[in-house]
Amino acid sequence: MKPKLVVKNGLVADPLAGKSKVQDIVVENGRIAAVAPGLGEGDPGGRGQEPGPDLIVIDASGKVVLPGLIDAHTHLREPGQEHKEDIASGTAAAAVGGFTTVAAMPNTDPVIDTRAGVEFVLKRAAEAGRVNVLPLGAVTKGQKGAELAEMGDMAEAGAVAFSDDGRPVTGSELMRCALEYVKMLGRPIISHCEDVDLVNEGVMHQGYWSTVLGLRGVPAAAEEVAVARDVILAGLTGSRLHLTHLSTAGSMALLRWAKDRGFPVTADVTPHHLALTDEAVRTLDYDTDTKVNPPLRASEDVEALREAVRSGLVDLIATDHAPHHFDDKDVEYNYAASGISGLETAVAVVVTCLVREGFLDWVGLARMMSLAPARLFGLESKGTLKVGADADLTIIDPEAEWTVDPAAFASKGRNTPFKGMRLRGRVTETIVGGRVVLLGGKLV
Amino acid sequence: MTLQPKAQIMDKEAVDRAVRRIAHEILEKNKGTDGLLLIGIRRRGVPLAERLRASIREIEGAEVPLGVLDITLYRDDLTTRSDQPQVHRTEIPESVKGKKVILCDDVLYTGRTVRAAMDAIMDLGRPKAIQLAVLIDRGHRELPIRADYVGKNVPTSSREVIEVKFRETDQTEDKVLIVEKVEE
Amino acid sequence: MPLNRKDVLTLEDMSVEEMTLILDTADSLKEILGRDIKKVPTLRGRSVMTLFYEPSTRTRTSFEMAGKYMSADTANIATTTSAVVKGETLKDTAWTVEAMGIDCIVMRHPIAGAPHFLARICQASIINAGDGMHEHPTQGLLDMFSIRERKGTLRALKVAIVGDILHSRVARSNIWGLTKMGADVWVTGPSTLMPPGIERTGVRTTFRVEEAIEGADVVMVLRLQLERQKKGLFPSIREYSRLFGVTRERLALAKQDFILMHPGPMNRGVEIASDVADSEYSLITDQVTNGVAVRMAVLYLLLGGGPEGSAQAEGGGEKR
């Protein structure tokens, strides 16, 4: 039997309850047993128990307690690219970042496009994972965009959604078929929206800064054209479509258009697209850690994304954690791999740029980073702190100020444009199914 | 460290007299102005050269060509100096080939400037001869170089500095001062 | 004032004072190019390596001659003759060059920002001799030098830059340099070859070449990469030259004493009519000579003058 756990005096923000207040939480057998103020007073266990091997008490005074964060978009790189990340290091990074569950993108080597691949990820997660891992399956075989993968078989094996992330499904008819097909599985398709033809070898956002820097630009339209197609297809098929890492003001307008028509569409944005503009490529002097796909956008886009967070237009925040090896980044800009190692900075970036700036409150953060991703993947017992829910908890010190030091990352990927930046808000405890995996900011 | 004026060793009249005497000596040694080319080393060699030209004109009624030499590119301390001297134009009106070059500078000290200037002139062509005219020779040579024409020999200590002021370059009446480096 | 920097990568980050110092120094050094013996000992013992990842004869040769005239030791690495073709990374190449104790690397690379990458890992001074579509600062400086030499100033001159602005590093360096020096810079070219946001750099734009040339003091024609046609950026060379070709008729709109420039190599009859390229207005051959003077100035300002030591005694200078 697992020890009982009491989290005392934290500001508990439950998105289902829609409000936050100081309460104690009691966890038993991996589930939330009680949530109420003053439960721990004088008698932490409530039943005459003292702290010891059978009872852990965490004092969360001055901290914020959220339902465990869920990242809907993580690259764990295993199998095949373990030099960049593996399930052990990736889930350690998740624990440090306050994520109790991560959805693993299938663009590994080989691509997770069969039941065997899904089972492999689940097996490795059980062996080496510090947090829950949800496998995602590919939409097309080998993510080649030619034939549908065995999504039904993968869904049975535990794939929670399907995505050809990293490579958009180019053929519109194939995308339509994929959407039709997943309807019967009750699983969403996560679309990486990119018109490769319009990208035209671009490596950063096309605008003033690409002109100044002489780097080939990716127009905002390269994303928006694909978003438009996909939301129209979602409308046509009535299938669940999730648009990931949207990055432009135009995409927000298209999302609004689709939602206004009642299309079954949701979307996420990433912390880095909410925090940084394309000017970072200039400021950081062509540092390849600023290279990401979609690229960091213009300030108007960042403003539109933040506004979409404030208004609730965009549903969730996902990291697109894309760890890379040093050698993949320590080259000329055009040759560098795209991606940012994001799990360990996500909360602090969101707190610094959105919570402290008034775009999001704690309940909103819990909604966007826990409840909404739980609902996306159909996880009824996650994303909330109500009695009976899975005891996944993230405890954040909202005032803690720290400097991003990639060398101290648990992830193998040290590729972050936030390096050296001062951020506010730090995850101190991460609790997965009642088990403490991060305590006092240190992995347990 | 500061520089403190110690004594004035030449005034305007003394400078004028020295220039006239050097002009006479140049004419005497070279038997007139044939093939002469005055070259002033930037900066204060230039006014000396110009005055010599004027003096020669007065004495002989002949116009001696005059050039300006910037020796920055020939300095032997370029790679050890912390400040970088700015390069100025070298402007020599005619070829030095076969000429008797009268190299002019205000002060002769270690001889390194003259060494640099001779290298610079040699790069421009092969003169028949190079002669050296200076207003002050203060001693302390570090190279085997001597002047052919000297306005005034001034024995100095190495803590002293000679300051030559010309109307053209210093916006003050011509004079020569000894100043002393004082440790604070 | 020395040029207080390790590298010359862009004109975007260069001050008016720095650019003026380079132009003034080049002006002093140009005299050396008229000598019988074109050599001064200034950079004796200093080494300059050209590292070219793109074919180029004129820029590479220009730097090499500039180095040789200043008595620096020069060596060249070109992609076809080195380990570069064996797939060595830029980082490893840089470390190899660094280990040889090279003082200055002159680099051309097809990717923007590659010289910045090199500058971060090398002790050596890096001179950007063209990086992708980004900048070619010494070309910008030599163009400014040539204009200043002819016109006496850059301030308030109308300069028209004509052609493929999008892909042109020469255009970018000239835009930064000339606008900072107070010139009135116009850019014109097909809309597909005009980069977004270019007017934010301080230039004026038009799609009518006549409007750009009208009343211009300087007409700068850019080289058109003919292979851009295949990418759909313009329909044909014929149409390009009809719409944007710099011809005698169009140049009649410029000021009487205008000057014509081209960074070379020219596509005669495409972006520039052959007869005007050879006309008395053309500064194209001056540009080549001035290129050497400007590069001598940049090399002197980066390499002449050491990091430590002090001005002692009479090194051939003013201390008496």
Cα distance between residue A343 and residue A430, in whole Å: 13
Q: Which of C45, C310, C316 sits opposite B112 (nearest CB)?
A: C316
Band the pLDDT of C260: cuts 50, 70, 90.
very high
Q: For A286-321, write each residue's pLDDT tens digit.
A: 999 999 999 999 999 999 999 999 999 999 999 999
Cα distance between residue C299 and residue C303, in whole Å: 6
* CA nearest neighbour of A11 among A19, B124, B135, B103: A19
Please state which of the four CATH numbers 3.40.190.10, 3.40.50.300, 3.90.1330.10, 3.40.50.2020 is assigned to the domain occupying B13-77+86-161: 3.40.50.2020
Cα distance between residue B108 and residue B117, in whole Å: 12
Q: Which residue has the tokens 């163009």?
A: C143
Q: For C169-207, write each residue's pLDDT tens digit.
A: 999 999 999 999 999 999 999 999 999 999 999 999 999
Verify whether the Cβ–Cβ distance C305 to B70 is below 8 Å.
Answer: no
B156 touches chain C (CB under 8 A): no
Where does A217-361 have alpha helices with state H?
220-237, 249-260, 271-275, 279-283, 299-311, 326-329, 346-350
Separation of first and last alpha carbons in chain C = 21
Instruction: Give me chain C's average pLDDT, please.
Output: 90
Q: C143 vs C151, C170, C261, CA distance in Å?
A: 12, 9, 8
Band the pLDDT of C3: cuts 50, 70, 90.
confident
Residue at which a domain ends, from A376, A401, A420: A376
Q: Do A306 and A275 share a structural domain? A: yes
Q: A126 vs A132, A134, A158, A377, CA distance in Å?
A: 8, 11, 13, 19
For residue B80, pLDDT beyond 70: no
Q: Do A168 and A50 share a structural domain? A: no
E strands present in A82-188: 99-104, 132-137, 161-163
Residues of A in contact with C90 (CB under 8 A): 331-332
Q: Which of C28, C297, C308 sits opposite B70 (nearest CB)?
A: C28
Q: Do A309 and A420 share a structural domain? A: no
Helix axes C284-303, C16-29, angle to 10 degrees: 110
E strands present in A92-144: 99-104, 132-137
| A383 in a structural domain | no
For residue C6, pLDDT beyond 60: yes
Q: Do A237 and A132 share a structural domain? A: yes
Q: Do A133 and A61 share a structural domain? A: no
Q: Do A221 and A318 share a structural domain? A: yes
Q: Do A325 and A218 share a structural domain? A: yes
Q: Do A426 and A319 share a structural domain? A: no
Residue at which a domain ends, from A353, A376, A399: A376
Q: Do A113 and A18 share a structural domain? A: no
- Give the mean model confidence (pLDDT) for residues B134-155: 95
pTM for the model stands at 0.90
Cα distance between residue A137 and residue A159, in whole Å: 6
As for the ipTM of the complex, it is 0.90
The residue of chain A with its CA nearest to that of C194 is A211
pLDDT of residue A48: 58
Residues of C in contact with B74 (CB under 8 A): 40-42, 316
Residues of C in contact with A206 (CB under 8 A): 196
Query: What CATH number did the domain enclosing A107 receive?
Result: 3.20.20.140
How big is the CA angle at A123 (ends A122 and A126), to the nearest 5 degrees?
A: 85
Tokens of C97: 């060059």
**DSSP code at position A265:** E
Verify whether the Cβ–Cβ distance C305 to B82 is below 8 Å.
Answer: yes
Q: Do A206 and A150 share a structural domain? A: yes
DSSP element (H, E) containing C70: none
Asked if residues C30 and C290 have their Cβ atoms less than 8 Å apart, the reply is: yes
| A382 in a structural domain | no
Q: Do A84 and A47 share a structural domain? A: no
Verify whether the Cβ–Cβ distance C197 to A207 is below 8 Å.
Answer: yes
The residue of chain B with its CA nearest to that of C69 is B73
The residue of chain A with its CA nearest to that of C120 is A285
Distance from CA of A210 to the nearest CA of C (A): 8
Distance from CA of A298 to the nearest CA of C (A): 12
For residue C86, pLDDT beyond 80: no
| 3+ Cβ–Cβ pairs closer than 8 Å linking B and C | yes
- Contact residues, B window 11-30, toward C, CB-based 8 Å cutoff: none
The residue of chain C with its CA nearest to that of B113 is C316
Q: Do A324 and A416 share a structural domain? A: no
Number of domains observed in the structure of chain A: 2
CB count within 10 Å of CB C96 equals 14
| Residue A45, domain extent | 4-65+389-443
Counted across chains A and C, CB pairs separated by less than 8 A come out at: 64
Cα distance between residue C190 and residue C205, in whole Å: 11
The parts of chain A modelled with pLDDT lower than 70 are 1, 40-49
| A433 in a structural domain | yes
Band the pLDDT of C308: cuts 50, 70, 90.
very low
- Give the mean model confidence (pLDDT) for residues B8-35: 95
Q: Which of A208, A333, A335 sits opposite C112 (nearest CB)?
A: A333
φ and ψ at C103, to 5 degrees?
A: -85, -30
Residues of C in contact with A286 (CB under 8 A): 112-113, 116-117
pLDDT of residue A42: 56
Residues of A carrying an active site annotation: 320
pLDDT of residue B82: 64
Residues 6 or more apart whose Cβ sits within 8 Å of residue A282: A209, A212, A213
B74 touches chain C (CB under 8 A): yes
Touching subunits of B (3+ CB pairs, under 8 Å) are C
Give 3-state DSSP helix, strand, coil % of chain A, rounded to 5: 35, 25, 40
Query: What CATH number did the domain enclosing A54 receive?
Result: 2.30.40.10
Q: B114 vs B50, C31, C37, C292, CA distance in Å?
A: 18, 21, 20, 28
Cα distance between residue C164 and residue B81, in whole Å: 45
B82 touches chain C (CB under 8 A): yes
Verify whether the Cβ–Cβ distance A331 to C90 is below 8 Å.
Answer: yes
Residue at which a domain ends, from A376, A399, A431: A376
Asked if residues B98 and B127 have their Cβ atoms less than 8 Å apart, the reply is: yes
Cα distance between residue A161 and residue A373, in whole Å: 11
The residue of chain C with its CA nearest to that of B123 is C37
| A384 in a structural domain | no
Distance from CA of A193 to the nearest CA of C (A): 23
